[in-house]
Amino acid sequence: MSAKNSSLVLFTLTSARSGTLYLRNLFRNNVRDCLCRHEPFFDWGNPTMFGPAIYDAYAGRVDRIRERLLRKRDYVARRRARVYLESSHAFLKSAYVAALDVFPDLRLIHLIRDPLMVAKSEAVRERRRQLARVPFHYYRGDDGRRHFYWSLTGNEQIYKTFDPDRLSLFQKYLIQWIEIENRAIRFLDQHALHDRCFTLDSPRDLNHPSRFREMLDFFGLETIRPEIVPARRRNVSLGHKTVVRDDDVREARMILNGLPPGYLEIFRHEPYTRFEWHSRLFGGRLESSLQNVP
């Protein structure tokens, strides 16, 4: 742990709609002396890493990201908790570009959910906000366009393969999930952080106390009581049950067939090949699409 911050700091490598709120509640119920924050937004003194921060990361303004993280570090230090968990999907959208400068001893939880479920759920959430005209959910970037506070800008290189006007919202979120997972593996590889990261299959692992206990032991965290207390609150979409239909699968395959093969390389390997959804989504497509990739 750094001299400036004596807390053990954990961030999540994940997309939205992947169980971050449930993870926060599990930590809150079970981990001793833990300051748990889920997607800080109106947390006084704890800067959000959504919205303009995402655009700053895209634009390469690392100094602005670092300044936000320095304020976050001071916030954590003032709380004097032994453990700080930030269960948010913002890390790989903005914070990762300067996180190790500010939190050199950080630990990571790689939380992975079925990408089609993620994309479908995210698309429904944004569409509802559009229809309701909810304020403060969009900001204007340097490109003059309105951007959703919780998503990538859409200007990232991975999107340039496609005509944005021909993509459904579901497809845009599937592309985002693929980009986020590529960032996760690249971040772990480039900084040799695999031994500081624990991977969870969401929601299955979140519902198995033994798996959650295994993760706590991995990080050396003390529990409040001998048994694991389950979290009760889930971040559900009221009035909507996420269901992936045949049309969604077809739309997903259009994206997989259109992407440059390099974006799919990571899905040939662990941890992805162990997930139940892997064969449904990829089937034999990976080998055929990657046969010319070194």
Asked if pLDDT for residue 293 goes beyond 70, the answer is no
Task: Write out pLDDT tens, residues 210-263.
Answer: 999 999 999 999 999 999 999 976 555 545 578 888 999 999 999 999 999 999
Report the percent of the chain where pLDDT is more than 70: 90
Query: DSSP character for 139?
Result: E
**Phi-psi region at 248: left, alpha or beta (left = phi > 0; alpha = psi -120 to 50):** alpha
Domain annotation covers residue 3: no
N-term to C-term CA, the chain:
39
Domain annotation covers residue 156: yes
**Phi-psi region at 51: left, alpha or beta (left = phi > 0; alpha = psi -120 to 50):** left
Domain annotation covers residue 122: yes
- Cα(158)–Cα(80) distance, rounded to whole angstroms? 40
Task: Write out pLDDT tens, residues 114-172.
Answer: 999 999 999 998 988 777 676 778 999 999 999 999 999 999 999 999 999 999 999 99
Task: Residue 277: give its domain's CATH number.
Answer: 3.40.50.300
Overall size of the chain counted in residues: 294
- Cα(268)–Cα(38) distance, rounded to whole angstroms? 31
* Per-residue pLDDT, 42: 85
Instruction: Give me the amino acid identity at 195.
Output: D
- Measured at the CA of 231, the angle between CA 230 and CA 235, to 5 degrees, comes to 150
Q: How many domains does the chain have?
A: 1
Please list the residues that pair with 202 across neighbouring strands.
113
Closest listed residue to residue 203, CA positions, set 176, 168, 239, 242: 242
Domain annotation covers residue 15: yes
Domain annotation covers residue 294: no
Q: What is the DSSP string of 165-217?
A: GG--HHHHHHHHHHHHHHHHHHHHHHTT-GGGEEEEEETTGGG-HHHHHHHHH
What the block records as the tokens of 245 is 């239909």
Cα 2 from chain centre: 25
Instruction: Write out the E strands in 67-106.
Output: 83-87
Domain annotation covers residue 47: yes
Task: Write out pLDDT tens, residues 189-214.
Answer: 999 999 999 999 999 999 999 999 99
* Per-residue pLDDT, 4: 57
Instruction: Name which residue leads in pLDDT, 1 or 264.
Output: 264
Cα 108 from chain centre: 11
* Per-residue pLDDT, 247: 93
169-178 burial: b if 16+ Cβ within 10 Å, else e: bbbbbbbbbb
Domain of 193 in residue numbering reads as 8-289
* Per-residue pLDDT, 292: 44
Mean pLDDT of the chain: 91
